[in-house]
């Protein structure tokens, strides 16, 4: 086997050893022994087994020893709870030559394919997490078992890669093109959805599923039954139905187009090409094609950007920059939510589910309170129906929620979050009322998206316990939480807020209290540039299509319909007042709100969308003068230049401590595409950072090919 060395500067590989032992099959009803290879990197379950060059070499040596032994079959399993999480991606960003990428791809194929074409039957006993190359090891094996608690999948397209160690070739042949497109394309594009064991069994990815307590014993028994002939697994030939393949590929292509707004993104396109070729390719031809695709993607900026973004998200999920010592956090025994509308009810529900402490809600009248309580209990019932919560848990947490119109129910709360109308005077009045009721230790949080947290705390006896706690809608889905700290907010309050955020499983960024924090400030500036162009006379279709090449999940005017013109206008007015005329007030948006026009697009029964005639009529009446921008390129450059200017100002103002935190906010708060690596690396690569700010946000080589 040819040796592959990691490039200079790459992090040292954590080697996954391949430990070999012989299992006597007599007690399981077969003769001879099974050579069992256990993958183990010697770390705890927080560091899964991965495959770098040295780990692949260790596995190759174990396979050789197993094939040379007197055993009748070979099995492969993992350390407790973990099978393998695939390739060690830490070195990819350091590759400088395509030949290096080709060598790594070929090395994986050369090792793994020995499990599929060797002289002995092979079995993969997937006892835990198996992703990417981990699942591909199993696919190369002749037979597979899976623990009921294991999750598996091929996340490569999500990361800007393709399943490059056999997955794109073997899986379509094994389970058919429709199911393969589901696993390789649809699941990956749907926020990297993984397969549960029952799903893997239904799809044919695995041959049997066993409970974890005696998983290995039952898996060896399964192997013995295959070997003694008492159990037979039949495989279906999926290659003959051409129409089925064409339909599956069309489904995958449509999903990619929808995900990326029609932008030509390389990884799903290449994965679909590999799936299509798998129908007629031999395994050798398919593996060669995978090597080429993998190397091409590895030597591209989108992959480097995806890896930067993915690693950033993983890192910041574990550590919150600037957070005080966790020991300072107060224990939360009861939570109050002011408001019973949709956002407030979502907040109450996520707190109930994760903190499992009493939660009380209030609103202006009992009807609103009852409506909020009904929503929360209905959502809990839905979770039980979907088997995402046990009936016992549902009963217990349903008993923890209550509501009233009397704010005195907040008297013994240790944490209160308000989600009332975005009006500063209302919020200041509320906090003064609450301060007269609650203890000095109770923390007061606001879910405001754009108002000053400092202003809300003015006049309070204890302004140090006021903090911004800004969630994104829908609360249960969106992973970002902006924690806005004022000059007065103390470490105890901040540490407690971070502790709660961790309990809620949110990724947090601590921001300085400033207008609209990070996400809404940048989104409003960006959206303002688009609407300004339209107000100046740019064709709305041209303005709205300007950002499509970026592969954003929706166009600017589609986003406007999701957010709502009323909210967009309110935030723009707030920022215009606090930050000046670069946040201009759109006359079109004012008319949209005053005349009740809620969306630019209308959706028909067949799913097609068209421009709303009422919106077009308003735009026609409010258009002023000759447009500055007449092409999509001009609109796009203008909008991106505004983003660069605003991001530089935010860093200079100390809104966040680093450019990476702005990237994180945009990735998790508004779905900025992973393949762009965050907003600031993209602006760097496009030259807009230098053009507008005279400097880059990141050093060369961050989220891009090495300089």
The separation between CA 616 and the C-alpha centre of its own chain, rounded to angstroms, equals 35
Residue 516 has pLDDT above 70, yes or no: yes
Is CATH 1.10.1040.50 correct for 519-627? Answer: yes
Q: Check residue 408 and give its pLDDT.
A: 96
Q: Check residue 458 and give its pLDDT.
A: 96
Residue 707: band (very low, low, confident or very high) from pLDDT cuts 50, 70, 90: low
Burial class of residue 242 (count of CB atoms within 10 Å of its CB; 0-12, 13-18, 19+)? exposed
DSSP reduced 3-state for 272: helix
At the fourth CATH level, the homologous superfamily of domain 17-299 is 2-enoyl-CoA Hydratase; Chain A, domain 1 (3.90.226.10)
Residue 1: band (very low, low, confident or very high) from pLDDT cuts 50, 70, 90: low
First-residue to last-residue Cα distance in the chain: 32
Fold of 326-482: Rossmann fold (3.40.50)
* Strand-pair partners of 401: 359
Residue 296 has pLDDT above 90, yes or no: yes
**Chain-wide mean pLDDT for the chain?**
94
Residue 2: band (very low, low, confident or very high) from pLDDT cuts 50, 70, 90: low
Cα separation, 565 vs 601, whole angstroms: 12
**By C-alpha distance, which of 608, 610, 607 is closest to 599?**
610
User: Do 118 and 180 contact (CB within 8 A), yes or no?
Assistant: no
Six-digit token pair at 451?
């108002």
Q: Check residue 300 and give its pLDDT.
A: 92
Q: What is the pTM of this model?
A: 0.91
For 141, which DSSP code?
Answer: S
Cα separation, 494 vs 317, whole angstroms: 17
pLDDT tens digits, one per residue of 227-279: 999 999 999 999 999 999 999 999 999 999 989 988 889 999 999 999 999 99
Q: CA torsion angle for 346, 349, 354, 355 (degrees, to 10)?
A: 110
Q: Which residues, 6 or more positions from 509, have their beta carbon under 8 angstroms from its beta carbon? A: 316, 320, 321, 480, 481, 482, 483, 518, 656, 661, 664, 665
Sheet hosting strand 151-153, strand order edge to edge? 82-84, 129-131, 151-153, 195-196
Q: Check residue 608 and give its pLDDT.
A: 83
Mean pLDDT along residues 629-655: 96
DSSP H helical segments within 299-403, as ranges? 301-318, 342-355, 366-385, 391-398
Q: Which residues, 6 or more positions from 227, have their beta carbon under 8 angstroms from its beta carbon? A: 25, 30, 32, 72, 73, 121
Residue 701: band (very low, low, confident or very high) from pLDDT cuts 50, 70, 90: confident
Cα separation, 262 vs 530, whole angstroms: 19
% of the chain exceeding 90 in pLDDT: 87
Per domain, the residue ranges of the chain are 17-299, 326-482, 519-627
Q: Check residue 10 and give its pLDDT.
A: 76
Residue 77 has pLDDT above 90, yes or no: yes
Residue 185 has pLDDT above 80, yes or no: yes
* Equal fold, 17-299 vs 519-627: no
User: Do 20 and 35 contact (CB within 8 A), yes or no?
Assistant: yes
Residue found under tokens 């070729």: 277
Q: Check residue 325 and give its pLDDT.
A: 97
Long-range CB contact pairs, 561-567, < 8 A, 24+: 561/598, 561/599, 561/600, 561/601, 564/598, 565/589, 565/592, 565/593, 565/597, 565/598, 566/593, 567/449
pLDDT tens digits, one per residue of 558-575: 989 888 999 899 999 999
Residue 4 has pLDDT above 90, yes or no: no
DSSP H helical segments within 69-132, as ranges? 98-112, 114-117
% of the chain exceeding 70 in pLDDT: 99
∠ CA(382), CA(383), CA(389), 5° rounding?
A: 145
Residue 71 has pLDDT above 70, yes or no: yes
Greater model confidence, 579 or 92: 579
Cα separation, 647 vs 662, whole angstroms: 8
Pairing of strands 415-418, 443-446: parallel
Active site residues: 136, 156
pLDDT tens digits, one per residue of 531-549: 999 999 999 999 999 998 8
Q: Check residue 486 and give its pLDDT.
A: 97
Q: Check residue 628 and give its pLDDT.
A: 85
Mean pLDDT along residues 409-434: 97
pLDDT tens digits, one per residue of 665-693: 999 998 899 999 989 999 999 999 999 99
């Amino acid at each position: 086997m040819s040796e592959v060395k990691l490039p200079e500067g790459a992090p040292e590989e954590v080697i996954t050893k391949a430990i070999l032992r012989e299992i006597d099959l007599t007690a399981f009803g077969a003769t001879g022994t099974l050579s069992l290879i256990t993958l183990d990197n010697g770390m705890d379950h927080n560091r899964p087994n991965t495959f770098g060059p040295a780990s692949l070499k260790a596995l190759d040596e174990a396979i050789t020893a197993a094939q040379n032994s007197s055993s009748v079959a070979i099995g492969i399993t993992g350390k407790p709870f973990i099978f393998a999480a695939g390739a060690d991606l830490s070195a990819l960003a350091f590759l400088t030559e395509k030949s290096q990428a080709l060598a790594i791809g070929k090395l994986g194929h050369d090792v793994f394919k020995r499990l599929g074409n060797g002289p002995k039957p092979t079995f993969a006993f997937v006892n835990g997490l198996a992703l990417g190359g981990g699942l591909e090891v199993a696919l190369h094996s002749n037979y597979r078992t899976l623990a009921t608690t294991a999750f598996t999948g091929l996340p490569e397209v999500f990361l800007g890669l393709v399943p490059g160690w056999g997955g794109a070739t073997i899986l379509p042949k094994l389970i058919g093109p429709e199911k393969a497109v589901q696993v390789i394309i649809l699941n990956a594009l749907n926020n990297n959805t993984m397969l549960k064991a029952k799903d893997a069994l239904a799809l044919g990815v695995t041959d049997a599923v066993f409970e974890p307590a005696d998983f290995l014993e039952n898996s060896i028994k399964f192997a013995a039954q295959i070997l003694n002939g008492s159990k037979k697994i039949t495989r279906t030939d999926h290659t003959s139905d051409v129409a089925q393949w064409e339909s599956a590929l069309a489904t995958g292509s449509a999903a990619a187009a929808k995900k990326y707004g029609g932008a030509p993104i390389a990884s799903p396109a290449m994965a679909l090409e590999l799936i299509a070729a798998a129908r007629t390719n031999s395994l050798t031809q398919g593996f060669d094609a995978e090597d080429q695709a993998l190397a091409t993607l590895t030597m591209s900026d989108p992959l480097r950007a995806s890896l930067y973004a993915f690693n950033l998200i993983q890192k910041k999920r574990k550590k919150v920059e600037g957070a005080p010592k966790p020991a300072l956090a107060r224990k939360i025994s009861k939570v109050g939510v002011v408001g019973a509308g949709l956002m407030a009810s979502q907040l109450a529900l996520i707190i109930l589910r994760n903190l499992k402490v009493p939660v009380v809600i209030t609103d202006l009248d009992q009807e609103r309170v009852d409506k909020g309580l009904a929503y929360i209990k209905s959502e809990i019932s839905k979770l039980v129906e979907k088997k995402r919560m046990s009936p016992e848990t549902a009963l217990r947490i349903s008993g923890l929620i209550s509501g009233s119109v009397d704010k005195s129910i907040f008297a013994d709360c240790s944490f209160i979050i308000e989600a009332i109308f975005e009006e500063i005077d209302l919020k200041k009045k509320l906090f003064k009322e609450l301060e007269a009721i609650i203890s000095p230790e109770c923390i007061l949080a606001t879910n405001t998206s754009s108002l000053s947290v400092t202003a809300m705390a003015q006049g309070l006896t204890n302004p140090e316990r006021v903090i911004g706690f800004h969630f994104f809608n829908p609360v249960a889905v969106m992973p970002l939480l902006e924690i806005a700290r004022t000059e007065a907010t103390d470490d105890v309050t901040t540490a407690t807020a971070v502790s709660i955020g961790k309990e809620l499983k949110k990724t947090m960024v601590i921001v300085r209290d400033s207008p609209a924090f990070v996400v809404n400030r940048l989104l409003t500036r960006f959206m303002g540039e688009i609407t300004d162009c339209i107000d100046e006379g740019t064709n709305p279709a041209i303005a709205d299509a300007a950002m499509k090449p970026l592969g954003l999940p929706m166009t600017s005017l589609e986003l406007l319909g999701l957010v709502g013109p009323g909210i967009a206008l309110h935030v723009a007015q707030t920022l215009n007042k606090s930050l000046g005329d670069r946040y201009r007030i759109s006359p079109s948006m004012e008319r949209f709100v005053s005349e009740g026009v809620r969306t630019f697009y209308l959706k028909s029964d067949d799913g097609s969308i068209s421009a709303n005639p009422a919106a077009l009529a308003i735009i026609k009446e409010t258009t002023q003068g000759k447009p500055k921008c007449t092409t999509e390129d001009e609109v796009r450059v203008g909008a991106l230049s505004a983003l660069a200017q605003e991001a530089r100002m935010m860093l200079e103002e100390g809104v966040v401590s680093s450019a990476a935190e702005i990237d994180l906010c945009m990735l998790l708060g508004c779905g900025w595409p992973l393949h762009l690596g965050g907003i600031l690396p993209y602006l760097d690569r496009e030259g807009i950072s230098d053009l507008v700010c005279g400097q880059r946000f990141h050093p060369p080589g961050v989220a891009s090919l090495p300089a």
